[in-house]
Amino acid sequence: MASIPQDLKYSEDHEWVLVDGGVATIGITHHAQDQLGDVVYLGDFPDTGSSIEQGDPVGVVESVKATSDIYAPISGSIVEINADLIESPELVNSDPYGEGWIVRMKIQDTEELNDLLSHEAYEELLD
């Protein structure tokens, strides 16, 4: 099993969240990309500035095996979409916790972060 970064929070839907001040960077976990296989497309992103509720889709990931929605682990407004993924969707496979991030959101309610899993709890979810 790949190492699960300790400084991130996780959703049960296999998204990760990195909080930096009032902004959250969101991506899918190594486990999620591993289950999907080779990612060939990411898209259907909301417009920058769009308000998103926790649990709403923030994009679609398509792989050689499946197509899946990416869900917002917290509520907020979209401040940035990783444009590199349009040309290089494979970054989600090669660097899911780095260059493969998907969206950045301005956090609406920091209390929602308490609903997310620690790296230990996420590891238990995978066992």
**Which pTM does this prediction carry?**
0.95
Delineate the domains of the chain, giving CATH numbers in brackets. 9-112 (2.40.50.100)
Q: Is the pLDDT of residue 48 over 70?
A: yes
The token pair that represents 84 in the structure block: 């590199």
Q: Tell me the C-alpha distance between 89 and 10, whole Å.
A: 21
Per-residue confidence band for 117, with pLDDT thresholds at 50, 70 and 90: very high
Average pLDDT, whole number, for the chain?
Answer: 95
Q: Tens digits of per-residue pLDDT, 69-114?
A: 999 999 999 999 999 999 999 999 999 999 999 999 999 999 999 9
Res 3: pLDDT: 82
Q: Rounded to 5 degrees, what are φ and ψ at 77?
A: -120, 140
Residue 16 and residue 5 in contact, taking contact as beta carbons nearer than 8 Å: yes
Res 43: pLDDT: 93
